[in-house]
């Protein structure tokens, strides 16, 4: 279980250490369907890692940074219901809207 220390870095919680408010996090679902983990004790601090895998300092993280975006993994057999998507394409040549085959015909 990770924890923020006095230097504002994330480090793993040892078995013999006590649990305090610095090691409790809230899972937040962002608008782009990624998951972020925010500290309860230090509001506005998120768990984040650099592209090299090093932890980011808590106050230097924001929810819109890629370093704090995590993908949710579902256990086998518990996949979410995926809804079919319909896309609208506009070609530059004709500048007309063309619906894909999965979308219903437009209303008149």
CATH number at residue 25: 2.80.10.50
| Residue 43, pLDDT score | 85
Residue 6 tokens, joined? 């006095």
| Residue 3, pLDDT score | 57
Structural domain includes residue 38: yes
| Residue 1, pLDDT score | 45
| Residue 83, pLDDT score | 62
| Residue 11, pLDDT score | 58
Residue 77 to residues 8, 16, 80, Cα–Cα distance (Å): 38, 36, 9
DSSP state of 78: -
pLDDT tens column, 21-49: 667 888 888 887 788 888 888 888 888 88
Structural domain includes residue 80: no
Which parts of the chain sit beneath pLDDT 50? 1
Structural domain includes residue 98: no
Q: Which domain, by its residues, includes 24? A: 2-68
Structural domain includes residue 59: yes
Structural domain includes residue 63: yes
Structural domain includes residue 8: yes
């Amino acid at each position: 279980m990770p924890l923020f220390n006095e230097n504002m870095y994330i480090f793993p919680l040892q078995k013999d250490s006590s649990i305090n408010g610095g090691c409790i996090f809230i899972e937040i679902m962002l608008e782009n369907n990624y998951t972020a983990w925010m500290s309860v004790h230090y509001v506005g601090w998120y768990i984040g890692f650099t592209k090299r895998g090093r932890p980011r300092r808590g106050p230097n993280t924001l929810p819109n940074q890629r370093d704090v975006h995590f993908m949710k993994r579902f256990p086998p057999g518990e996949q979410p219901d995926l809804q079919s998507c319909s896309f609208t394409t506009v070609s530059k040549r004709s500048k007309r809207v063309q619906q894909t085959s999965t979308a219903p015909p437009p209303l008149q």
